[in-house]
Amino acid sequence: MKAYWFDNLPGDQRAPHDSGRVVDPSYLTKLGIHHYEFPDDLDSVNKIAAERNYKNRDEIEISPELLPGYEEKVKNFFHEHLHEDEEIRYILGGGGYFDVRDKGDEWVRIRLEKGDLMIMPAGIYHRFTTDEQNVSRVGHAMTCAIRGDMLISAQYTKALRLFKEDPKWTPLKRGDETDANPFRKDYLKIRDGGLDSVPDAQRMT
């Protein structure tokens, strides 16, 4: 995991946009975000799922070859939004960027790769994008792998998504209505009050 302030420069959202200003993991904790490193360690992921009462899960693979309507869905993922429940993602392959709003309403970019697990609280404004490796390139050399009879990019985003109830992804785009959303208000109370949404017994980093 690597975190830094987004540079806000124009260009492809899938570029690093690294301002060179590093964000310390302790600051992410103050935003209610918690990160763990579990390389090839599904048992630890299962433990967190049990502690937080996440009964269901699914996997999503994001690449031009594997996700129908890839370009449109990547654009939707990048619209600023919130959820009314926690968002837990465990990266199984490839990588990508989560951008989250800080206390000053600036973007913090978080780079996740295989083995990273991140918990984001309900009510936090955020967005997601794949990296440049996920862009279809015609006429350029790429490292590829065979899956069945399908040729896919070696670098892509594969994530395990954890859910308390039925697997679903319901984004609420930022606006006056979401600003007044009770989950948003509760998040701000916790964040600005300096409270920690994850008990000490569950914190591993």
87 among the known binding-site residues?
A: yes
Strand partners, 128: 98
Scan for tokens 């837990």, then name that residue: 88
**Would the annotation count 165 as a binding residue?**
no
Name beta bridge partners: 150. 147
With 0-12 / 13-18 / 19 or more C-beta atoms within 10 angstroms meaning exposed / middle / buried, residue 15 is: middle
Q: Is 113 annotated among the ligand-binding residues?
A: no
Sign of the C-alpha dihedral computed for residues 186, 187, 192 and 196 taken in this order: positive
Give the separation between CA 85 and CA 120, rounded to whole angstroms.
9
Cα angle 181, 33, 122 (rounded to 5 degrees) comes to 20
Distance of alpha carbon 136 from the chain centroid: 21
Query: What is the amino acid identity at position 118?
Result: M
- Residue 134 φ/ψ region, left for φ over 0, alpha for ψ in the -120 to 50 degree band, beta for the rest: alpha
Residues 6+ apart with CB under 8 A from 199: none
35 is in an annotated binding site: no
3-state secondary structure (DSSP) of residue 198: coil
Q: Which residues are annotated as a binding site for Ni(2+)?
A: 81, 83, 87, 126
Q: Which residues are annotated as a binding site?
A: 81, 83, 87, 126
Q: Which residues are annotated as a binding site for Fe(2+)?
A: 81, 83, 87, 126
